[in-house]
Amino acid sequence: MSEQVYIFDTTLRDGEQCPGASMNTREKLEVARQLARLKVDIIEAGFPIASDGDFEAVKAIATEIQGPCIAALARTHEKDIVRAGEAIKPAAKRRIHTFSSGSDIHLETMLKISRAENIKRSVAAIKLARQFTDNVEYSAQDTTRSDREYLVELYTACAEAGATTLNIPDTVGYAIPHEYGALIAFLIERIKVPGLIYSVHCHNDLGLAAANSLAAVKAGARQIECAINGLGERAGNTSLEEVVMAIKMRPEVFGGVTTGIDTRQIYPASRLVSHLTGMVVQRNKAIVGDNAFAHESGIHQHGIIANRCNYEIMSAEDVGRSSELTWGKHMGHHAVRKKLAEMGYTLSDAEIKSITDSIKALADKKKHVYDEDVRALVEGQFTEVVQTWKLDYLSVMTGTIPTASVRLLKAGKKEPVADAGTGDGPIDATLKTLDRITGVKGSLMDFNVASVTRGEDAIGEVSVRVDFNGRIVTGKGSSTDIIEASALAYLNALNRHLDEQQRRCAADKPTQ
């Protein structure tokens, strides 16, 4: 019987630490639901001590999500452990993941403690965590720059204290595959506590995170910590889709190990995370990029027509990339609900009605409506931001003097507010007009546009990063018209900014 490699997904914790990739509780829940459909083994839902919002998000995921084990991160501080234990308490399967460091540079310059004190604190943290769950994971950061003999001493003490999973992180992306595999094999051989699962958490600073993780599996590791689209700090984490598909396609290389992942849910997960974080997936990204199954060379096209196996080692369907023509303007609410359920979406009655109306409107504009079109529409519903401003009308004239006429609806007001203005181009004119109408000045820091569906009438998705008085906010919008998508993305960022201001003001008010 083949051994299982457990997939520990850290999209909601380490992935969300990527600058500009933060998500609210509703969005985190939606990602967690998709991770459950993907059948990951462990969801690292967050770092509860970091903020009240993070605590509430972890608790919400622990309350709702069934199937995966729900993990919370904690330093080796008592308050961290207690907070993590409280957050994951509702989960049927729960884990506390506590961490310290292993390298002398971390101990001396960051933690400012001795090796012996580090062991003492780590052991105490694990024993406290065991009061909340018998599933405890321990990590020592920066193992690839640590003294190996000290790692044996540290990890042995932690295992004897009750840690059931030992994580060996390449925190700074320093390792090369053969040496990382050798480190894993060394620790497995030298740590004599039985029944442990050895885990790996690799960063992609040298572009080797997936390769290092797979080398570790060959050496005996049985848990990979990874993220959808490789999201994470700096250059990112190990890409879930890459290691999962490598194991699936080349089981003989890894001793016949398997994962429990439903690979048909990989692409939907990639699209969802990309949309909610505003982190656009590069076109040539392995497995989930737009070009992953595209062929332009005449030789390649001929080979694909003869037999797809000539130039493809897996099919698009293997990772959930379907493009059936199943949507149209004659579909009713029940049919839309059923199809969305098949795609893995669970929406309220109001959202189903809104999506149905949007599909019908899109079908009037487009000859064909694909699954990707509908995904883009559905993902636009995933927000709990108060919609202070909504786009009611937009008309743009290009030429020597680009002009935009805009009408907005403001929450609580019956009459729309309209204005017109000029700019260096149609998008510049539109955004400047939005600034004037709303009275809030934003500075556009980043602008990305991508086609999320096929054809000349494809839906375009715009992601923006806007600076509002020193606070950078991400916004997203989609439409078959790029200028409209740009206006929607900018308004999304503006509404997020205003919503955040209102929440801060409410939190700062003194209680009576």
Mark which of 358, 379, 400 sits at the end of a domain.
379
pLDDT at 367: 67
CATH number assigned to the domain comprising residue 488: 3.30.160.270
CA 223 distance to own-chain centroid: 19
pLDDT at 372: 67
404 and 313 share a domain? no
pLDDT at 370: 73
pLDDT at 323: 45
Which two three-digit tokens encode residue 323? 């493009």
Plot region of 437 (φ>0 → left; ψ -120 to 50 → alpha; else → beta): alpha
Count of the separate structural domains present in the chain? 4
Which two three-digit tokens encode residue 221? 């590791």
227 and 308 share a domain? no
80 and 104 share a domain? yes
229 and 129 share a domain? yes
338 and 273 share a domain? no
Instruction: Find, among 366, 342, 373, 349, the residue nearest to 271 by Cα.
Output: 373
Domain with 307 in it: 292-319
Mark which of 333, 355, 379 sits at the end of a domain.
379
Question: Is 282 part of any domain?
Answer: no
Question: Is 444 part of any domain?
Answer: yes
Question: Is 66 part of any domain?
Answer: yes
DSSP assignment letter at 108: I
Mark which of 268, 301, 319 sits at the end of a domain.
319
Q: By the 8 A CB rule, do 135 and 164 touch?
A: yes
303 and 328 share a domain? no
pLDDT at 324: 46
pLDDT at 16: 81
CATH number assigned to the domain comprising residue 29: 3.20.20.70
DSSP for 411-432 reads TT-SS-EEEEEE-SSHHHHHHH
The angle subtended at Cα 90 by Cα 84 and Cα 94, nearest 5°, is 60
340 and 451 share a domain? no
Question: Is 297 part of any domain?
Answer: yes
252 and 301 share a domain? no
Q: By the 8 A CB rule, do 475 and 489 touch?
A: yes
The pTM of the full predicted model, rounded to 2 decimals, is 0.75
Instruction: Find, among 286, 253, 248, the residue nearest to 267 by Cα.
Output: 286
Question: Is 256 part of any domain?
Answer: yes
Question: Is 29 part of any domain?
Answer: yes
Query: What is the pLDDT tens value at each position of the chain, 512 positions in all?
Result: 679 999 999 999 998 877 667 788 989 999 999 999 999 999 999 999 999 999 999 999 999 999 999 999 999 999 999 999 999 999 999 999 999 999 999 999 999 999 999 999 999 999 999 999 999 999 999 999 999 999 999 999 999 999 999 999 999 999 999 999 999 999 999 999 999 999 999 999 999 999 999 999 999 999 999 999 999 989 999 999 999 999 999 999 999 999 999 999 999 999 899 888 878 888 889 999 877 776 444 444 445 456 556 657 787 888 887 544 457 777 788 888 887 887 777 788 888 888 888 888 888 877 677 776 787 677 666 556 678 999 999 999 988 899 999 999 999 888 999 999 999 999 999 999 999 999 999 999 889 887 766 666 677 888 888 989 888 888 888 888 999 999 999 998 999 888 878 766 765 555 44
R_g of the chain computed on alpha carbons: 25
Which two three-digit tokens encode residue 140? 């020592």
18 and 153 share a domain? yes
254 and 403 share a domain? no
Which two three-digit tokens encode residue 321? 């990339």
71 and 11 share a domain? yes
The angle subtended at Cα 237 by Cα 233 and Cα 243, nearest 5°, is 170
| Distance in angstroms (rounded) separating the CA atoms of residues 179 and 202 | 13
Which two three-digit tokens encode residue 35? 């991770």
Question: Is 195 part of any domain?
Answer: yes
H-run or E-run covering 476 = strand 471-479
370 and 412 share a domain? no
Alpha helices for 175-227 (secondary structure H) = 177-190, 209-219
Question: Is 249 part of any domain?
Answer: yes
Which two three-digit tokens encode residue 497? 């900014």
Q: By the 8 A CB rule, do 361 and 331 touch?
A: no
pLDDT at 326: 58
